[in-house]
Structure 1
């Protein structure tokens, strides 16, 4: 995806046996190959998630012009707000500033920011402070002295008396691995200090996302935080500015794909950090932030319908948070704004007809940001692995020594997977971080009503029975038991049963369901299919 983010707008001004017995043997060998009964990885668990009270808070661009009166929300959807962005000072990198334009004190004077923050709280709202953005240096990027870095973060938290922070890490801030390590160490220290003072701190890590999930830099950022001991309230992904996406999908559909992929990555990251979490719990440690209306990528427009669809998905999965970029833009552009495909800081670029993105996205989300800091993430019990049974599996069960060609479907640990390309020995549920690291695509679980896999067959006599002494050539068809096979090339003595495990190296291939149906049809119409002969020597 393009490395733009909420901040980009502002900074522009910013994967000998009978055939049935063979299948059973494959199941047994496959299970033994990975240890038989073992604990399943966290993403396969289905324990109910801990109670979660999702919240909504839109981003408000503090230094944008015209200024947004976030302190006077039009409705309860604007009650809580994420103020953006605190960054490193231009000349004094360990000094926090608003967008490099104002120190904390200068913002109090020039923007009346202190008074406006106080008003939000007076009205029962909560303030989240966001650090970073796409254009300027996040504090950890340019402040290289650990003590001063912790002090800089602490100054902001103390100054605005906030208990929830948002780390918007992208662009150069995200690709700088050393900065990531400094950031993780500083936040871990900050969180520990505040815990000692009985002032829990909720930490959100906001990252760019592609339809395929977090980038490698993104997963590294999460891993750095977990390794340092940061107890993340969650990972918030910027469901926007994809660039490379399926244009036949709506923006909500692409966002749901991105969230689903990120969920899988987080399951793996927490497992690698010796903090296994259930599938349901990981959803409650995620958030989504769309860019409402016209995105920086001209072909991408997030509509009011997209907002409703994303909100419904978030509610179903119990995502802890929804946000949006930005509250400043939650209105129809005026008639004087000529080019609606050019992103505006102060309007959405689409006709909203009086509707509010904040109201749609925030519908039913009654939780509050600071509650995330009151919860401690702990390892969760891991369920035993699902034992696959050929009597209930809709596809053959994966085996270690099996070879699988593109589009082959198999069952493994209670789930159905499909091969993206030729593969052998690659675990279907290998905990990878990027989809490109595995030849398998998870399709979904084996369902209670699934019919068991049945090897396609034809009546005895439809074709000659396979004989090891016979020479077969390309196109010859035989039966092994009742299972039909066709020779791919010259063969003698090679049993077709090997094709079940090694279709590429076997001179035989099993007939497809469509081919078998055609044979059955021709048999009904007037005798067995002709034209198939075998040669003997």
Structure 2
């Protein structure tokens, strides 16, 4: 006897059976696709958080001294075309890579951050100045320009911030994509992969047509694009009346996700929803935005972080670490954007910590720099420990610290193969004294002496460039004087106080020694015979 006991299947029963089998097949395929999608998303690595740091705005942000995991990884901005040479990369258009090293100690500070487990991404472009591909029309020279930055800072991840008029420059868009592909191929051959992120403006309706074209150009040139980071800020008229900054941001991300799925599909890349979320990032402008009335609050930061975790966003950033603090009482108009504070009352919260949320990844896997204090052969000490290497003036960028030398605020020295800057007047205070609390030490550690360094030669101002300091003269803020050949500028009104007189935290000096950049500018002005 057969299993069905000689009974035949009726047509209605057959139809039901076919439907059930089809449903099971679809469910199995759909489930497998979901598994593949999730696996692809997870293969991109853990989601990471890194806040932008404006490298050139004053006062300089001391990113090399992270206090939490939320400010350990940074996106350093912005490298653009030099104001004097279309194919030369420059920080903020004003500092060549060498000048940034000398005047801002940028290379050393990056090394110091990495010593402490931090990561550095460099961002090209931004809202001001010109992104390299818009001015450098020679394809080979453009690759050279990007390469010089990547190699100098040993980067594994870069960020291309394209906005404003640069979005509509289709020739530059193609030129940039071709250069990125060439650079990725080069780096891969050298065993050092290069991850490329695009950062683009967005509205609650998503990316602009030009923004989508920037993404499409990268895919067309076969660039291995790590992701698209959208600037959830400065919505202006695109934000509906009554729509909160949080709702505008989540709407923008959702719309961008839908748009990117279409852009990838047209490029022949069929990526799933989870993978696409992992290839996206969000960057709010914390606190007061550039647009009046647009305020991204602490509460919005919490909820945007939760949204990112729910969707599986691959990256979170913010503009900027420089601004992640409550403004002081002396800052009168909170509706005016400050480079140094958020414009909202943060209490004990930091935007960085809230936006990082549960993200544990890192954008940059570069080698950790040498330890802060290299050691030599044991000297026979009681515990057998190595002693610090002796400092060599010929391989030190700044003078070696001396016990009997007086140092004023801003003076930089080398001690035990590390560079330090004086926070205030100092005499006999050892820079690396282990028993002195950091807040009480007159010295701030900048970073290690780098391999191959030589003394930084600063120009000597001709006698008479500025008047000699006179104890009988009253000086107003901004006036400059010379003392023993060293130029100083008055920080406020003073009379009878010598620029090299002792100062403390409680009684600071009214004088500041000119920075290296100011000194070079002063020397240039003096050489041109103008004042």
Query: What's the CA shift string for 1:420-468, capped at 9, x where partnerless?
Result: xxxxxxxxxxxxxxxxxxxxxxxxxxxxxxxxxxxxxxxxxxxxxxxxx
Q: Give the structure 2 partner of residue 180 of structure 1.
A: 173
The equivalent position to 2:182 in structure 1, one of 154, 170, 189, is: 189
Distance 1:351 1:247 in 2: 24
Residues 211 and 261, structure 1, Cα contact 8 Å, conserved in 2: yes
- State the shift of 1:168 in Å: 0.2
Q: Give the structure 1 partner of residue 38 of structure 2.
A: 48
Matched, 1:271 2:265: yes
The equivalent position to 1:241 in structure 2, one of 229, 234, 238, is: 234
1:117–1:251 distance in 2 versus 1, CA, 3 Å: same
- State the shift of 1:354 in Å: 2.2
Q: Give the structure 2 partner of residue 298 of structure 1.
A: 292
Q: Give the structure 1 partner of residue 114 of structure 2.
A: 121
Query: What's the CA shift string for 1:261-295, capped at 9, x where partnerless?
Result: 00011101111111110011100000000000000
The equivalent position to 1:132 in structure 2, one of 125, 128, 141, is: 125
What is the RMSD computed on CA atoms of the aligned residues? 2.0
Q: What SS class does the counterpart of residue 38 from structure 2 fall into?
A: coil
1:45–1:265 distance in 2 versus 1, CA, 3 Å: farther
Q: Give the structure 1 partner of residue 323 of structure 2.
A: 329
Number of positions where the alignment pairs a residue of Structure 1 with one of Structure 2: 334
TM-score (norm 2): 0.61
The equivalent position to 1:250 in structure 2, one of 244, 250, 256, is: 244
Unaligned runs of 5+ in 2: 1-28, 367-531
Residues 49 and 278, structure 1, Cα contact 8 Å, conserved in 2: no
Distance 1:72 1:47 in 2: 39
Query: What's the CA shift string for 1:167-223, capped at 9, x where partnerless?
Result: 000012111111101000000100111111111001000000010000001000000
Q: Give the structure 2 partner of residue 147 of structure 1.
A: 140
Residues 78 and 358, structure 1, Cα contact 8 Å, conserved in 2: yes
Query: What's the CA shift string for 1:376-424, capped at 9, x where partnerless?
Result: xxxxxxxxxxxxxxxxxxxxxxxxxxxxxxxxxxxxxxxxxxxxxxxxx
Residues 57 and 322, structure 1, Cα contact 8 Å, conserved in 2: yes
Q: What SS class does the counterpart of residue 131 from structure 1 fall into?
A: strand
Distance 1:45 1:122 in 2: 38
Q: What SS class does the counterpart of residue 364 from structure 2 fall into?
A: helix
Distance 1:305 1:313 in 2: 13
Q: Give the structure 1 partner of residue 370 of structure 2.
A: none
Unaligned runs of 5+ in 1: 1-38, 373-537
Q: What SS class does the counterpart of residue 370 from structure 1 fall into?
A: coil
The equivalent position to 2:312 in structure 1, one of 314, 318, 327, is: 318
Matched, 1:91 2:81: no
Distance 1:82 1:354 in 2: 24
Residues 59 and 81, structure 1, Cα contact 8 Å, conserved in 2: yes
Q: What SS class does the counterpart of residue 140 from structure 1 fall into?
A: helix
Q: Give the structure 2 partner of residue 350 of structure 1.
A: 344
1:248–1:118 distance in 2 versus 1, CA, 3 Å: same
Distance 1:351 1:166 in 2: 30
Q: What SS class does the counterpart of residue 369 from structure 1 fall into?
A: coil
Residues 79 and 124, structure 2, Cα contact 8 Å, conserved in 1: yes
Distance 1:125 1:300 in 2: 32
Residues 79 and 123, structure 2, Cα contact 8 Å, conserved in 1: yes
Q: What SS class does the counterpart of residue 267 from structure 1 fall into?
A: helix
Distance 1:354 1:173 in 2: 39
TM-score (norm 1): 0.60
- State the shift of 1:91 in Å: 1.6
Map 1:343-422 to 2 at 5 A: 343-370=337-364
1:231–1:297 distance in 2 versus 1, CA, 3 Å: same
Q: Give the structure 2 partner of residue 58 of structure 1.
A: 51
Map 1:368-517 to 2 at 5 A: 368-370=362-364
- State the shift of 1:44 in Å: 10
Distance 1:44 1:145 in 2: 45
Q: What SS class does the counterpart of residue 178 from structure 2 fall into?
A: helix
Distance 1:333 1:167 in 2: 30
- State the shift of 1:250 in Å: 2.1
Residues 156 and 365, structure 2, Cα contact 8 Å, conserved in 1: no
Q: What SS class does the counterpart of residue 48 from structure 1 fall into?
A: helix
Q: Give the structure 2 partner of residue 164 of structure 1.
A: 157
Q: Give the structure 2 partner of residue 103 of structure 1.
A: 96
